[in-house]
Structure 1
Amino acid sequence: MLHVLRTEGAGVLLRKLARRVRATPLAVKDPPVVLTCQTPLQPLSLPVTESPLASIVIPAHACFAHTHHCLAALARAGARAAFEVIVVTARPDDEAAERLARYPGLRLIMNPNPPAPGIANARNRGAELARGATVVFLNPDTQVQSGWLDALLQTFQDVPDAGMVGSRLLYPDGRQREAGGILFDDGTAGSYGDRDDPDKPEYSYRRAVDYCSGAALAIRAGLFRQLGGFDVSLAPDGREDLDLAIRVRAAGFQVYYQPTSTVVQGDDAATARHDRSGSGFKIARRFLAGTWRQRRQPEPLAPGSPDTDIARIKERQIRRRAFVADNYMLTPDRESGSLRMSNLFVVLQELGFKITFAAANLEAPEPYVSQLQARGVECLYRPYVRSLAHHLETQGHLYDLVIASRADTAAAVLPIARRHCPNARLLFDTVDLHYLREARLAELAGHRSTRTLADWRKRQELGLIDAADATLVVSPVELELLRTERPRARLYCVSNVHRIHGSATPCRERQDLLFIGAFAHPPNADAVRWLIRDILPLARARLPGLHCHLIGADPPAAIRALAAQAGAGVTLHGYVPDVKPWFDQCRLSVAPLRYGAGVKGKINQSLAHGLPVVATGMAAEGMFLVDGESVLLAETPADFAAAIVRLYTDEALWERLSTGGLSVMERHFSFAAARRAIAEAIDAQI
């Protein structure tokens, strides 16, 4: 921490130490917003669109207030995605239908003579007339919460085999009603997590389930029609949603529960029969009986009954489990190492792993924890998990893979995992070699204390390599260095992972320079000081209008003051949630790092967007870049400034570097490249 004190000040050092020992608690969620019968039942407007992405189908309720409140919640919650609302009623001449006809934007469908009575028939009729690619069924006694629809639709984008996706259901008092359903081979079907705390980790991540309640359920419209909709002959017993889920899976798709889509449904405690074991499982119905059993031949269901281990039964489809620990909660919009790990999660899921992730201090800041959960990553956090040690002591036997990311976390996790994870392959993920970075800082600054710290880090990291079954590094340079230090160790290069976006804007339509990097990382702060003091004045002498944008979280006071002194030539933006516009609009990116280690995410991100980069050799180390073909390299302020001017004014060079950088990204930093590398490291088949 000495270099943090020297380069960033006591304030930043104290914040880092505090975060290491104090978790950011799970955010206290507001209770669900529930409209009551006292709310005035005035007509309300619903979205009007000619090209909806989703069609929301609601059977009209005998109680008009329920239907009104369902519609009011839809109007209040809204969505980024365009949607239409269809209400189906079998009584066109009653007062409720007359009142609904006055709701602007609502598609009111009259279904006076259905072939069979009930909700299933009304749903089928609404789906016949739906224009969206996704049909979403809502019961009229439900009230959706903010973000519910976008979370459902995003699941279809994230998981190609998703055929049907259900919401998390809550009771009006905020307790959980359903976190997916389970079908047992004794004929029992029911809701997982009933009347329990919905914030518990085991209920809060996307996962494949046997079925989801039809109260809030989305399905691909084409698939629904292909399957012939709900079986109306099952409707009197309320089994049509179970039946549809089984047919969806038989057609080669999966049914998913998406907890970040939250919907409130009224209490039906009078008709519910509860499991007495305290497992949070509500027996909803018996469904394997009579002619239905003869007509359907479902895939193998959960063995036993609700008296068995519900927590394990709900995940019986999972074949491999990975436990991943890092220093902090992943913040991929703020830090390159987090972005890499977040993308590696995608690769591990493609390889068939369920991922359980924990920050070393069990913090759970939003929106990051919810973003991981929405993607199917189980996150552990306080107060529900006592410690990583306790979790591994009790659950370690379940894991096939343990990844400990960064040296400090690995030092704490690997010894415990070695004792309590007998079936797991243990990986130490260096992210970058800390001792190499510290040694380079010592050489640059001439601090004896920093050299002492680098020596201690080296002993620590080499010891962790000895303790792990295999070690991941991000750079071929670091790979060769460690092969010299530990020739018998199992070492693998698993570098940064990026989606390749390509260039969105021609060179001539761009302007300005871009530097991007979190200032909590000391090499970035040093690079910006060098850039502002020594490089930009030389470049601006030849290009007087040149402007540089600095983007990165947590800029220290010294950097803010330096940027202010630079005047009109520099703008310090700090943290920016969406950086894509900057990659699309700036003419080039700069990476004037004077020390560091690993692979630089700032360069990866720029190249992935087709934005050429001027960098030091230290910044471009281990990235397969060639000077003049995929990057411009410079080491002194004068050379760096000259390279900026040259690239800024030479359109042909700009185009060559843009194309060359994209080619390097495709070969070495794409998801396909990461899939090959991680599969080799964990001895997996791809």
Structure 2
Amino acid sequence: MALPAAELLRSQGENHPAWAAFDPVWYIATYPEANLSCGGDPSLALEYYLRAGCRLGHSPSPLFDERYYLDQHLDIAALVRAGQYRSGFDHYCQFGHRGASPHWLFDDGLYARLYEDMTLENLDAHHCAGRYDHWLKSGQREARIGHFMFDPQYYRARVLESGAPDAQFEQRGPFVDYLYSLYRPGPELPCSPYFAPYFAPDYYIATHESVKPVMACGRVRNALHHYQLIGEAEGFDPVPEYSEAYYRDAYPDIAAAIDAGHFTSGYRHFVQYGAFELRRPRADIDLLYYRDMNPRVRDDLNAGRVRDAFAHLRTIGLKEKLPYCPPERVPEISEAAAKQLFELKARNQIALFARQRLDFTLSGPPALSVVMVLFNKFELTLLALASLRNNYAGAIELIIVDNASTDDTRRLETYVRGAVLIHSKENLGFLRACNLALDAVSSPSLLYLNNDIELGYGAIAAALARLASAPTIGAVGGKIIRTHGRLQEAGSIIWSDGSTIGYLRDASALAPEANFVRDVDYCSGVFLLCRADLVKRLGGFDEGFKPAYYEEVDLCVRMIEAGFRIVYDPDVVVHHLEFGSASNTEASMALMRRGRRIFKRKHAAFLRTRLDCAAENIIKARARDGAGRRVLFLEDTVPVRRLGSGFVRANDAVRAIAAAGWRVSVLPINGARHDIMSLFGDLPDTVEVLHDQTILTLPNLLREREGFFDLIWVSRTHNLDRTRAIFEEAGIDPARTPFVLDTEAIEAARDAAAAALDPAKAGFDLPAALAQEFRNAGDCRHVTAVNQAEVDLLRGIGISPVSVLGTIRDPDPTPRDFADREGLLFIASIHQTDSPNFDSLRWYRDEILPELIALMGTPPVLTFIGYTAPDIDLAELADNPFIMVRGSVDDIRPAYDRHRLFIAPTRYAAGTPYKVYETASHGLPCVATALLADQLGWAPGVEIASVPVGDAKGFAAAIARLYHDEAAWQAMRSAALARLEAENSRATFDATVRMILEQKPRATAKRRARLRAVG
């Protein structure tokens, strides 16, 4: 039924479209100007609407949203302005009802995809004026879905729960009733299991501060309306169980699809597809685990009682507390039970040593001397010695003192060969026995080792390597894990009153705080690797502490006073049966109290330098090194090198800060989605990787570590914007705790370059865009950019000081000769359709390649290698005989060795082109646009061949010239390698970072004022 709005609204009859309705009472109540003109008389409302209201953007009823329709269809809005249609509703009446969505809560395309009978031909046959007409007349009552955020069956249930429904509820249907409810006073009822059961509107409003003002001014009717019109496009989270930022970050294919315009938000994809694919809606919600571990979920899904696992979680699982994520660790067992299991393991393998003797026989000088003191506990001793032998294959001088044992320890020689065994006729205690063994030590490294332990993989080698890494290290200790899997200590702290504490006792062994190297007050004698000559020079353990306890604390303090360091190394893992060698725990505690009194008297001067025993002091007391040089490093995620992009450079920045002697704590703003081994293994071992933190936990971290950080290093400008209010709330003043902003890339510069290619974007205001992008940079003591061109841009808007912090790339040229190479190479990633790299390929195909054919006849084939997002279709290049698309490859070095030239026809970009550094490091000359040459600061014709952006003919000529001129090829190859060596070495990069770190503080107020003036 294609008629103008005036005819449809005035007519009625059989098969009249349900959406072609005018509600006069609603109309004059909604639009004050209509009420005033009609004198409050609803009978005059329709004529007013047709005469004037439709031109004012009014809707004829709640069923059609005029503003939404015009905002979604700008071409139709232009036709309305031109007078071809009276209103958006007029267009919908005549044409739009055949496929356009008339309301923010009805998706015409979704309705067509979900239901096979919703073809226009079938609808015409049944006298329905489009899908929306069907939805209003019957679909909403048939429990069909017309929008991913409205479930009529769910809404009906909520209405019934809230009390007696409106008298017109059944006549209107749940969808129409909901639309009218937006204009009635009262609480907002949830309308979908995906949006607001019980609390989501309140959550949405409370979480997103911009919602309330927009609702107050009447632009939107409620929280859902705001989300549909504004929040979804801006990435707001609609429910607490879903994170838009996480979903986009965890699934790059979805982020690319959103950028390409296929989805308005990740949530829209998730509800339509991702929930069925069991993708994670939030980092800690695993829908696959939820479905597989809960029979109730599987039963309900199979019976069709819920649509998907996420809907089940929202409507049932949370209320019933069904588990939705694997536990971080195995279920806890009591330490008493764990100790019994540890002892049982030792006892169960005792028979092995009857036929498989442990052999410590030396055939040359020992690499390590191990001192172990025994008193009974024969089974535990053999477990410890077997662990020692299996752990380290080098020459071990094993020195054992048996303190008059009464069990099978007396016959230890029968099962252990090559050890120095000292049998004492009396129980000398641990301390005196160790000193007795000291005379027999001949190795440069001495390990004091308990007999109630089991060593983790490579513990001995890791400890020896750490001890040898610096002559100032006097002793090395490790991560001591009790039998039930919780920490005993990760290094230890001495307080000013002489008491001690094992750092992180009872914490997880995988806690970030337990997994970085640092200097400590002391390490437990359970495993203490020392310089043997230092221990002998200090006279071993002080016998004033005999029989045991506090002797290792005293020894470590004497090492520190002698100018040596005590180092905690998390790679040294020791599983310990705590108090396993003691007669009873209370006896051990009594000896500890006695030892503390002696220690306090002996080291009064040292204790005056220590902090008071208080929970808030633990974070500062955990390390002796780093005071005054502690950095909080913020990045989108943990900068693992295999992520590529700017994360390689961020990784190098962390390394440089650590190399400068600063203590770095890395916090991933968006969370860390990588495995523990990648996170810990790709950064220096002195770096604290806060993999369990995000921007959501940053406020709490700053409270717990008040006054701890001496500098904040922010990678990427948007992270400064996102965290600025958090730091202000925490009371962190940039004048006292300086901020460094590493821009990584300037978005305004890239946008300006893209605008220069698009006539529709003429007049792009670069200074204004820069001022907006760097509106918070005035708080920073120093700002870095990746090249001189971007430094100049920042200085131009008043940012100072600002420095170039470039990119590290070591020369590693491929060996093949010029004559043995052929073809052109382009390596890049394409994440979205408006990617600069996709534009480069198209420009090459459409404009450069024809010029190259004209010059060369048969041009060399261009090979494109690189990641392409799933929704990017490169089929348009498939039929071109001179372009070969290979996609991602595991090893790109052979491609660099095989090809003769690299091209980079980039017309817009920001930052610096890492791909050009990479190709130069492999010894392949590059033809690029002047944009990239300027970003690099390289001399055209010397280190790089460059032509102006848009000069396709010049680009082709540069390729042809360099492709055939071996002398020029060799010269450019050598010049680029030399430039890399001079400017992109680690030494240059590290020196810049050190300069920034050591820079004297400057007031930020003047700089903020300058930026405001520019803005």
Write the letter of the residue equivalent to 2:420.
M
Pairwise CA distance, 1:463: 1.7
Residue by residue over 1:210-240, the C-alpha shift from the partner in whole angstroms, topping out at 9 and shown as x without a partner, is 0111323445x57657856843745632444
Q: Partners in 2 of 1:298 and 1:383 — Cα distance?
A: 35
Residue by residue over 1:118-140, the C-alpha shift from the partner in whole angstroms, topping out at 9 and shown as x without a partner, is 5635874786236xxx6655433
Report if the CA contact (8 A) 1:363-1:381 is conserved.
yes
Pairwise CA distance, 1:477: 0.4
Match status 1:96 vs 2:412:
yes
Match of 1:662 among 939, 957, 981: 981
Q: Partners in 2 of 1:10 and 1:48 — Cα distance?
A: 71
Write the letter of the residue equivalent to 1:345.
V
Match of 1:418 among 713, 722, 728: 728
Write the letter of the residue equivalent to 1:97.
E
Task: Name the counterpart of 1:463.
Answer: 775
Residue by residue over 1:364-390, the C-alpha shift from the partner in whole angstroms, topping out at 9 and shown as x without a partner, is 633344247863333445479952234
Match status 1:673 vs 2:673:
no
Match of 1:322 among 631, 637, 644: 631
SS at match of 1:421: coil
Alignment of 1:107-506 (within 5 A): 108-112=418-422, 118=430, 120-121=434-435, 124=438, 128-129=442-443, 137-146=448-457, 148=459, 152=463, 162-219=473-530, 221=531, 224=534, 227=537, 230-231=540-541, 233=543, 236-268=547-579, 270-271=584-585, 287=595, 298=606, 301-305=609-613, 309-315=617-623, 318-349=627-658, 353-363=662-672, 365-366=674-675, 367-371=677-681, 375-382=685-692, 387-392=697-702, 395=705, 397-419=707-729, 420-422=731-733, 423-444=736-757, 446=758, 458=770, 460-466=772-778, 468-484=780-796, 486-487=797-798, 489-496=799-806, 498=808, 501-503=810-812
Write the letter of the residue equivalent to 1:28.
E
Pairwise CA distance, 1:69: 3.0
Pairwise CA distance, 1:244: 3.6
**Comparing 138-147 and 44-53, the one that deviates more:** 44-53
Against the structure 1 CA distance between its residues 531 and 312, is the aligned structure 2 distance closer, same or farther, given a 3 Å change threshold? same
Report if the CA contact (8 A) 1:465-1:471 is conserved.
yes
Unaligned runs of 5+ in 1: 102-107, 276-281
Normalising by structure 1, what TM-score?
A: 0.74
Match status 1:28 vs 2:328:
yes
Q: Partners in 2 of 1:242 and 1:39 — Cα distance?
A: 35
Against the structure 1 CA distance between its residues 532 and 52, is the aligned structure 2 distance closer, same or farther, given a 3 Å change threshold? farther
Larger Rg: 2
Q: Partners in 2 of 1:76 and 1:549 — Cα distance?
A: 50
Q: Partners in 2 of 1:284 and 1:563 — Cα distance?
A: 76
Report if the CA contact (8 A) 1:535-1:641 is conserved.
no
Report if the CA contact (8 A) 1:86-1:126 is conserved.
no
Pairwise CA distance, 1:432: 0.8
Normalising by structure 2, what TM-score?
A: 0.53
Task: Name the counterpart of 2:251.
Answer: none
Against the structure 1 CA distance between its residues 658 and 469, is the aligned structure 2 distance closer, same or farther, given a 3 Å change threshold? closer
Report if the CA contact (8 A) 1:181-1:212 is conserved.
yes
SS at match of 1:418: helix
Pairwise CA distance, 1:114: 8.9
Task: Name the counterpart of 1:105.
Answer: none
Task: Name the counterpart of 1:279.
Answer: none
SS at match of 2:998: helix
Q: Partners in 2 of 1:550 and 1:49 — Cα distance?
A: 56
Unaligned runs of 5+ in 2: 1-232, 235-254, 271-278, 286-325, 332-337, 403-407, 949-954, 1004-1015
Select the structure that is richer in helix. 2
Report if the CA contact (8 A) 2:746-2:790 is conserved.
yes
Residue by residue over 1:473-506, the C-alpha shift from the partner in whole angstroms, topping out at 9 and shown as x without a partner, is 222101111222x13x3241241353x7554875
Write the letter of the residue equivalent to 1:310.
I
Against the structure 1 CA distance between its residues 475 and 124, is the aligned structure 2 distance closer, same or farther, given a 3 Å change threshold? farther
Report if the CA contact (8 A) 1:208-1:255 is conserved.
yes
Pairwise CA distance, 1:149: 5.3
Q: Partners in 2 of 1:514 and 1:57 — Cα distance?
A: 58
Q: Partners in 2 of 1:158 and 1:669 — Cα distance?
A: 24
Q: Partners in 2 of 1:170 and 1:301 — Cα distance?
A: 29
Task: Name the counterpart of 1:66.
Answer: 380
Write the letter of the residue equivalent to 2:754.
L
Task: Name the counterpart of 1:618.
Answer: 931
Report if the CA contact (8 A) 1:523-1:593 is conserved.
no
Against the structure 1 CA distance between its residues 303 and 110, is the aligned structure 2 distance closer, same or farther, given a 3 Å change threshold? same
Task: Please provide the CA RMSD for this pair.
Answer: 5.6
Report if the CA contact (8 A) 2:554-2:599 is conserved.
no
Write the letter of the residue equivalent to 2:939.
V
SS at match of 1:112: strand
Pairwise CA distance, 1:433: 0.2
Match status 1:592 vs 2:592:
no
Against the structure 1 CA distance between its residues 183 and 337, is the aligned structure 2 distance closer, same or farther, given a 3 Å change threshold? same
Q: Partners in 2 of 1:562 and 1:100 — Cα distance?
A: 73
Report if the CA contact (8 A) 1:634-1:640 is conserved.
no
Residue by residue over 1:132-183, the C-alpha shift from the partner in whole angstroms, topping out at 9 and shown as x without a partner, is xx66554332223346456556756888854433211111111111021112
Pairwise CA distance, 1:586: 7.5
Report if the CA contact (8 A) 1:213-1:241 is conserved.
yes
Pairwise CA distance, 1:266: 0.8
Q: Partners in 2 of 1:45 and 1:12 — Cα distance?
A: 67
Pairwise CA distance, 1:662: 1.0
Q: Partners in 2 of 1:398 and 1:8 — Cα distance?
A: 43
SS at match of 1:330: coil
Q: Partners in 1 of 2:368 and 2:762 — Cα distance?
A: 62
Residue by residue over 1:88-122, the C-alpha shift from the partner in whole angstroms, topping out at 9 and shown as x without a partner, is 33479954333233xxxxxx332437998756358
Q: Partners in 1 of 2:591 and 2:422 — Cα distance?
A: 34
Write the letter of the residue equivalent to 1:209.
V
Q: Partners in 1 of 2:912 and 2:401 — Cα distance?
A: 63
Pairwise CA distance, 1:410: 1.5
Provide the identity percentage.
20
Write the letter of the residue equivalent to 1:619.
L
Q: Partners in 2 of 1:51 and 1:15 — Cα distance?
A: 67
Against the structure 1 CA distance between its residues 162 and 505, is the aligned structure 2 distance closer, same or farther, given a 3 Å change threshold? farther
Larger RCO (CA within 8 A; separation ≥ 6): 1
Report if the CA contact (8 A) 2:518-2:686 is conserved.
yes
**Comparing 377-386 and 208-217, the one that deviates more:** 377-386
Q: Partners in 2 of 1:667 and 1:572 — Cα distance?
A: 31
Select the structure that is richer in strand. 1
Match of 2:958 among 632, 635, 639: 639
Report if the CA contact (8 A) 2:962-2:968 is conserved.
no
Residue by residue over 1:597-642, the C-alpha shift from the partner in whole angstroms, topping out at 9 and shown as x without a partner, is 11233444566x6745525243343434334544454672563475
